[in-house]
Amino acid sequence: MTRMPPAATQPTVGQAVIELSQVSKIYGKGEAQVRALRGIDLRIEAGEFIAVMGPSGSGKSTCMNLLGCLDTPTHGEYRFLGVSVGSMSADQRALLRRNYLGFVFQGFNLLSRTTALENVELPMIYRHIPAAERHERARRALQEVGLSGREHHVPSELSGGQQQRVAIARAIVTQPRVLFADEPTGNLDSVTSFEIMRLLTALNEQRGITIAMVTHEPDIAAWTRRIVRFHDGSIESDLANEPVRGGH
């Protein structure tokens, strides 16, 4: 049986959290075959904040689905904290997602009739954390993203930026090793996007959360320390970046 990654502590800076080695992903067969990824290599170290960019069909979304254990490679190897993900069962991959990964989406994905506090508590219910501890941790997470006093508001009573903050609180409340953000500012105006990027930067720098973010927007990617660009299923470039500070 495949062992799960170590759960006790955050990995140290410089340690590989994610390693892809010659990973390919092929959909379909024969003339309908699509090579979404073509033997890519990628290493993400603890504490990094990277942007993943590329046009539609470039392979970036396929790569992020693999990294988030929502799909598996056709060829090659994916190692998470040194453990081979490809040899895990579907149940083990589900446990990895639940216990080690956080997700933030463009569309927020909040339960519409559920309060901010209850939305943030949801992933802890699946981990069977007692109610009192869930409430306290959810309140702290909402406080950390600047939403104290909004705990009992439902999504329709919150702005788009506030809804995304709830989604971020829900993603970090379980103390994930890696936070995956898929176009997190895609539904937000420029001012609110700035606030969300400032929050993600603080989570990366102050809490050391490793963040991998898909974005089409160069001004959003400019907040990160590394930009990986995909093209036609391959990594076209992988460059360090000097992030913006304090605004555009």
Convert the pLDDT of each residue in 84-94 to its tens digit: 998 899 999 99
Q: What is the torsional sign of CA 21, 90, 167, 169?
A: negative
Mean pLDDT of 184-208: 93
Q: How far is residue 80's CA from residue 45's CA, in Å, rounded to a whole number?
A: 11
Alpha carbon 15 to chain centroid distance? 18
Phi and psi at 69, nearest 5°, equal: 60, 30
- Alpha-carbon separation of residue 106 from 167, 194, 205 (angstroms): 10, 15, 22
Mean pLDDT of 108-134: 93
At 3 the pLDDT is 64
Q: What domains can be seen in the chain, in order of their start residue?
A: 49-61+89-240 (3.40.50.300)
At 248 the pLDDT is 47
Q: How far is residue 182's CA from residue 2's CA, in Å, rounded to a whole number?
A: 29
At 235 the pLDDT is 97
DSSP letter (8 states) at residue 6: P
At 127 the pLDDT is 87
At 139 the pLDDT is 96
At 2 the pLDDT is 59
Mean pLDDT of the chain: 91
Q: How far is residue 159's CA from residue 45's CA, in Å, rounded to a whole number?
A: 34
At 184 the pLDDT is 94
The sheet with strand 49-53 has its strands ordered as 101-105, 178-182, 210-214, 49-53, 226-231, 234-240
At 126 the pLDDT is 84
